[in-house]
Chains A and B, each alone.
Chain A
Amino acid sequence: MGVYVRIVTEKINIEELIAKVESADHGAIDLFIGTVRNHHHGKDVLGITYDVHETLAEKLFKEICEEASGIWPDTDYAVIHYKGELPVSGISIVIAVSSPHRAESFEACRYVIEEIKRQAPVWKQEHYLDGKSDWLPGHSLRHEGKHTNTCCGQCCGGKHA
Chain B
Amino acid sequence: MKIVIYHYGAFRKLGDRTDLDLPAPATIGEIRMSLIERWGESHQLLIEDSALANMTDILPDEFVIDDHCALSVLPPVCGG
Contact = CB atoms under 8 A, between A and B. Distances in A.
Given A56-B55, A148-B49, A122 B76 contact: no
A92 B77 contact: no
Contact of A139 (B55, B56, B76): B76
B15 interface: no
Given A51-B12, A138-B75, A149-B48, A117 B55 contact: no
Interface string A125-156: 10000000001111111110000111110010
Contacts of A142: 48-51, 58
Interface string B42-80: 000110111101011110000000000000101111111
Contact of A141 (B10, B56, B58): B58
A139 B9 CA distance: 12
A102 interface: no
B80 A138 contact: no
A140 B49 contact: yes
Contacts of B50: 140-142
A92 B80 contact: yes
A120 B77 contact: yes
A61 to B, nearest CB: 10
Interface residues of A, number: 38
A34 interface: yes
Contacts of B10: 123, 135
A155 B74 contact: no
Nearest to B72: A53
Interface of A: 34, 50-53, 55-57, 59, 81, 92-93, 113, 116-125, 135-143, 148-152, 155
The list of the 6 closest CB pairs from A to B, nearest first, reads: A122-B79, A123-B9, A138-B78, A138-B76, A149-B45, A135-B10
18 contacts: A34-B80, A51-B9, A53-B8, A57-B79, A117-B77, A118-B77, A121-B8, A121-B53, A123-B8, A123-B78, A135-B13, A137-B76, A138-B75, A140-B49, A140-B51, A141-B76, A150-B45, A151-B49
